[in-house]
Structures are given as C-alpha cells and as structure tokens.
Structure 1
Amino acid sequence: MRGNFASTRLSASAPLDSPFEVDQYSPVVKHHGTRTALSFELIPPRNSTDSAKLDELIQGLAAYHPDYVSVTSSMRSDWLAGTTALIERIASTTDLRPIAHLACTAGPKVELEGWIRQLIDVGVRGFLALRGDLQPGQTSLPEGYLPYATDLLNLINKVQEEEAFRLAAGKLALSVACYPSGHAESKHFDHDLDVLLAKQRLGADFAITQLFFDASDYLEFVEVARLAGVRIPLIPGIMPITSLARAKRMGELSGLQVPETVEKRLASATSPEEEYELGMELSAELTRTILDAGTGGLHVYTHNNLAVTRDLLGRVGIQQP
C-alpha cells in the first residue's frame, strides 16, 4: 500500500459532500453494465519466432470479444513501424478494435505527426498517449521531441481536427496512463493528480493504470482521484504474476518495489510449478477484489502469452462466450 496516500487536496470540481476514508474502497462510479469490460495489451513481434506465434494469440484473444486491444510501441519492435504492422495484421484477420501506443520517445514531433496520420490510414481510431521511459542517464528528451504526454495529446487533437472529414465528424478515442503507486519521477502524489486532471482537460477519454501489486493501491487511488475531480474511467492494468523474477523485473521497469508479502509468498515455492500457481492465485485475488468493489473493466498485460491470459481470466470467472 502506498504510504502517505491520503491527500487534503481538492480541485475546484471535487464533490464537497463525499469525505474520503482510507478504508472505504469504493470506485465512486460503480459498474452497472451487463458484463465486465475487457481489453488486452499486445506487443509487436521482435523476431520471426515471435511473429509465427501471433496468429494463434490474436485469434485466441479475439474469442473473448474484447472491447479493444492496445498495441505497444518500443525500440525493440522498431517503434511505430512495428506497431503499425501488427495493427494491419489484426485488422486483416479479425474485427478487433485496436488502439495504438504513441510515445513521445518514439521520435521528434514532426515524425509523430506523420505516424498519427499513417495509423489512422490503417484503421486506428484510438491512441494511448505516453511520454515513454527515458534512457538510463537521460533527464529529458532531445530537442524537437515532445517533452510530455500532455503535449502529445495536443498534437493528436490537432491532427484529429485536420482529419475531421476522414473521421466522419467522429472523434479519436484518447487514452492515457495513470499511476496508482505513483509515477517514478513524480514530486508527490498531488503532482500525479494534477497531471491526470490536465490530461482529462485535454480530452482524455479514459486512463489505464500502470501495474500494481496491491488491490488497495488501485482502489484508494480511484477514490482520491474522484475527490480531486477526475471523472474519466480509470481502468486497472492487470499483470499476471508467473514468477518472482518476472514480478521483480516488471516492478523495476515501472519504478516499483515488489511488496514484501508478495515476495515472501512467491519465495516459499519449492518448484517452478508451485511458484507459478502461487503467483497466479495472487493475481486472481487482486483481480477479484477489484471487481468485487464495483470496478467495471480490466486491461490485461498479456505479454503475448495466451495460456497465461486464459488461466487468469478463468480464475476470476471470465470465460470465452
């Protein structure tokens, strides 16, 4: 659980008649739909072996009829070239609705603008706008790059306005990241809230959380964000835990430390099979707690592993239709 979580800060739009209590886990905006909203994160292939497994993965995830899939962008998969190629592959073989990760780190502003238009060409109607991770020793992005995700939202909005006729007077879905356990570079929690509110004002339709290890981190974060005036959906990003090494690696990449309780539980395993079982049950417990609190959707970080994704969803009662 994040220390010193509760904040006295309230924005001008915050409800004044909803006092926050740390032990009262309520997402405020309760789920009233007929089913849990579901989405998946996919990673573009990094080699021919990865590419050969993609069709089974895509078809397997499509069987759940997710509301959308997000496609990542990274240096290891040739930045937006890899993102675009995978989205074209998805569009040609399924009716899945893809949103594209777009990171400030992927290139200078002029290149990003061209990629936004190219991604719209291949059928993208939504973007996840990110600053992206800085390289070791890097304190800021090079000249010509957009420094923050809010700048990227402005750029997407500009292109959207210029492409209004092509979008049939519609609107691109804009999503952003949020951080239940705090952003690694954040000065304090209020700063995280200010950034999220700025993203909302710039047209973000929903936010997907970075991974977290404790359900209370997410539920408390949502409660405080609501009191601060955040009204967009805050969709929990769930990472299935398959081993202690994987948990530590993903925590390191996200600037998070694996909680001692989680580390001890996984370290007690006497075999890889038992470690996997313990990790997956931890993931399922976290997910059940979030859903039982009234949260209406999940975003699963699949790591392109269909079997693990199916296992997690089965444990929380989500089956293929």
Structure 2
Amino acid sequence: MNERFPSTRLSASAPLDRLDEDPATEPVLRPARSRTALSFELIPPRHDADTALLDTLIAGLAEYNPDYVSVTSSRRSDWLEGTAALISRIAETTDLKPIAHLACTAGTRDELTVWIRTLIDAGVRGFLALRGDLPEGEAKLPDGYLPYATDLLNLINEVQEEQAFRLAAGKLALSVACYPSGHAESKNADMDLDVLLAKQRLGADFAITQLFFEAEDYLSFVEKSRLAGVRIPLIPGIMPMTSLRRVERMGVLSGIKVPECVTRRLSDASTAEEEYEIGMQMSADLTRTIVDAGTGGLHIYTHNNLAVTRDLLSRIDI
C-alpha cells in the first residue's frame, strides 16, 4: 500500500488521536450557535421521473440556503450515473453545494477511480464515503471491490492529490457515516468507535449519523466518541417519522431495532392523519432536544418530499 496513506484498520488505542487536554473536561457538544448548519439528502429519480417535480424540490430546498446537499447512489437509480446526472442538474440550476455518496458496492477500485474523476468534473467538491450494503446472502464484496469505507477514503485521497491543481491547492470535503445505534455488523460499540477513529485519521472532515429514533442515542454517542478521541463534527441525520410503516421499513434497512415507545405511540393512532401528526411531533421533539443540547447542525433525510421537510423545519422554527 502507498505509504502516504496508512493502513485502513487501526486501533482506537493508537496514540494518533490523543490530545494533551483531558477530554473529560470538554463539553459533550459545542456551545449553541446563532445559526444551525443545515443540509439535505436528495435521491436521484428513477429513470424518466417528472423533471418539473424534481426542479420544484431542488428550488424549495434552496430557499433554506443549506450549507450543502448530499446526493445518494443506489442500484435503483443507476448507481453513480444517476448521482452524476442529478449533481449536474443542481450545478446548472442553483448555487447549492453538492457532495456525492460514493459506496464501495458501486464498482471495482478502477471503476470507482473513474467515477471520482467524473463526479469532480460534474461539480462535486466533497464525498460521503460508504461501504454500502453487501449483496444479499454475501459475507463480503466481490473480488476487485474495496472492502471498507476506509479503503475508499484512501482512494479518494489519491485522486485528490492527482487533481490538486484543479482544486486550487485545496481539498475535497470528506465525510463518512457513523452509527449512534450501532452498526449491524459490529461486534460491539467499541468496534464502531475504532472504525470512526480510523476514518478520522484517514482524513474524514465530518461524519453524518445513520438513522436513530431517540435523542439520547445521539447525545450518548457524541459523549462516548469525544472521550475516545473523535474530534470531527458528528452531524445528526434526521428522518421525519411520518408513519409506522415508514419507521419499521427504515429500521429494517438500517439494521436497527425501532424502540417500543416509538412503535406504541404510532400504533395508538386511529387515522393516517393522526399517525402523521404523532410521528412528526416525535421527530420535532427529537430534533429540538438535539439542537437545544448544543449541536451545531442538522442533516435531513428528505426522501425527496418537500412538504414533509418544510413541515419538520417549521415545527423547530427553521
């Protein structure tokens, strides 16, 4: 492996993340800011989706002046072709700053190298580096694929050096995923922190959390991460809870158990309208608790639904 890019599997006990100060004396979250940083996740449309609806979504989200938008990548939207197409449209029609989801599952190392260059050409100046879901029934990715998100960070760093003149001696923004409720494949919480520290050492600038259902899950995760030596921002990813079916589906996809208190409250609804109201109020309470605790930013999983996104933000006075 190129010596400029260290091993991707490093121990959380390695001294590289230790600071002189006692982390136990530091606040769990930074003091509240006058402006909460805001970002949105967008999903590329499937095939010939209504262009007008997509443009309305992008224009509506742009009204909030988000700090960036992230664009997902998945098989159902033609992998990175769909990502690049949506990012190009965003760049052509708005001043939004896009970052691209990049998953190890999207192609071999050589294919991903080409896609990183292609996405930079499309206007991307940041990536969310992910391992991605393993193929159903498989314990690992096929030969030629990068096995971990940490390996993908190394590859992005290599291409970044190659593109240094185009980036005006700057760097790409590198983000990664983190897991307040634990990664489904992790042996324990220490392993999750171990991997997050490795990502930090490899140049991750910030992390966006995967799904969680209770504010305490996030706040506790931040506290433990700081004590372990994590110093990058840990941005809470918020999914509006619009129905029990949506919540249970996202829990399955994320590999986490939905708390009984959440399912019980949603199950108590007698109508779809009441279910929506209960879910959105829980989402707003969770988000407000996190903001009041001092977190400086929110990342909203929009599911391309502008009305629901606006409803949530209005409930928390953003």
Judging changes above 3 Å, is the alpha-carbon distance between structure 1 residues 241 and 190 closer, same or farther for their aligned structure 2 residues?
Answer: same
- Once residues 157 and 188 of structure 2 are traced to their aligned partners in structure 1, the CA distance between those partners, rounded to angstroms, is 29
Matched residue type, 2:67: D
* 1:89-139 per-position Cα deviation (integer Å, ceiling 9, x unaligned): 000000000000000000000000000001001110000000000122011
TM-score by length of structure 2 reads 0.93
In structure 2, the residue matched to 1:269 is 269
| Aligned residue runs from structure 1 range 42-61, under 5 A | 42-61=42-61
Structure 1: 4+ residue segments shifted above 3 A: 9-12, 14-20, 49-52
TM-score by length of structure 1 reads 0.92
What is the DSSP-based 3-state SS (H/G/I as helix, E as strand, rest coil) of the residue aligned with 1:222?
helix
Q: In 2, are the aligned partners of 1:186 and 1:192 still within 8 Å (CA)?
A: yes
In structure 2, the residue matched to 1:213 is 213
In structure 1, the residue matched to 2:224 is 224
Give the percent of matched residue pairs that are identical in Structure 1 and Structure 2: 74
Judging changes above 3 Å, is the alpha-carbon distance between structure 1 residues 281 and 194 closer, same or farther for their aligned structure 2 residues?
Answer: same
What is the DSSP-based 3-state SS (H/G/I as helix, E as strand, rest coil) of the residue aligned with 2:49?
helix
The reply to whether residue 148 of structure 1 matches residue 148 of structure 2 is: yes
| Structure 1 gap ranges (5+) | 1-8, 21-25
Q: In 1, are the aligned partners of 2:176 and 2:204 still within 8 Å (CA)?
A: yes
- Once residues 222 and 123 of structure 2 are traced to their aligned partners in structure 1, the CA distance between those partners, rounded to angstroms, is 32
| Aligned residue runs from structure 1 range 121-140, under 5 A | 121-140=121-140
Matched residue type, 1:294: G
Matched residue type, 1:54: L
* 1:189-246 per-position Cα deviation (integer Å, ceiling 9, x unaligned): 1110010000000000000000100100000000000000000000000000000000
Matched pairs, number:
305
In structure 2, the residue matched to 1:30 is 30
- Offset at residue 257 of structure 1 (A): 1.3
- Offset at residue 161 of structure 1 (A): 0.4
- Once residues 257 and 74 of structure 2 are traced to their aligned partners in structure 1, the CA distance between those partners, rounded to angstroms, is 23
What is the DSSP-based 3-state SS (H/G/I as helix, E as strand, rest coil) of the residue aligned with 1:49?
coil
Matched residue type, 1:104: C
In structure 2, the residue matched to 1:305 is 305
- Once residues 305 and 20 of structure 2 are traced to their aligned partners in structure 1, the CA distance between those partners, rounded to angstroms, is 42
Judging changes above 3 Å, is the alpha-carbon distance between structure 1 residues 14 and 190 closer, same or farther for their aligned structure 2 residues?
Answer: farther
Matched residue type, 1:40: F
- Offset at residue 19 of structure 1 (A): 4.2
- Offset at residue 49 of structure 1 (A): 3.4
| Structure 2 gap ranges (5+) | 1-11
- Offset at residue 51 of structure 1 (A): 4.0
Judging changes above 3 Å, is the alpha-carbon distance between structure 1 residues 289 and 52 closer, same or farther for their aligned structure 2 residues?
Answer: same
| Aligned residue runs from structure 1 range 4-83, under 5 A | 12=15, 13=18, 17-19=22-24, 28-83=28-83
In structure 2, the residue matched to 1:6 is none
In structure 2, the residue matched to 1:184 is 184
Judging changes above 3 Å, is the alpha-carbon distance between structure 1 residues 15 and 305 closer, same or farther for their aligned structure 2 residues?
Answer: farther
What is the DSSP-based 3-state SS (H/G/I as helix, E as strand, rest coil) of the residue aligned with 1:186?
coil
Judging changes above 3 Å, is the alpha-carbon distance between structure 1 residues 32 and 282 closer, same or farther for their aligned structure 2 residues?
Answer: closer
Judging changes above 3 Å, is the alpha-carbon distance between structure 1 residues 69 and 200 closer, same or farther for their aligned structure 2 residues?
Answer: same
In structure 1, the residue matched to 2:113 is 113
- Offset at residue 59 of structure 1 (A): 0.1
| Aligned residue runs from structure 1 range 166-181, under 5 A | 166-181=166-181
Q: In 2, are the aligned partners of 1:11 and 1:229 still within 8 Å (CA)?
A: no
- Offset at residue 15 of structure 1 (A): 6.9
- Once residues 168 and 272 of structure 1 are traced to their aligned partners in structure 2, the CA distance between those partners, rounded to angstroms, is 52
CA RMSD between the two structures? 1.6
Q: In 2, are the aligned partners of 1:14 and 1:226 still within 8 Å (CA)?
A: no
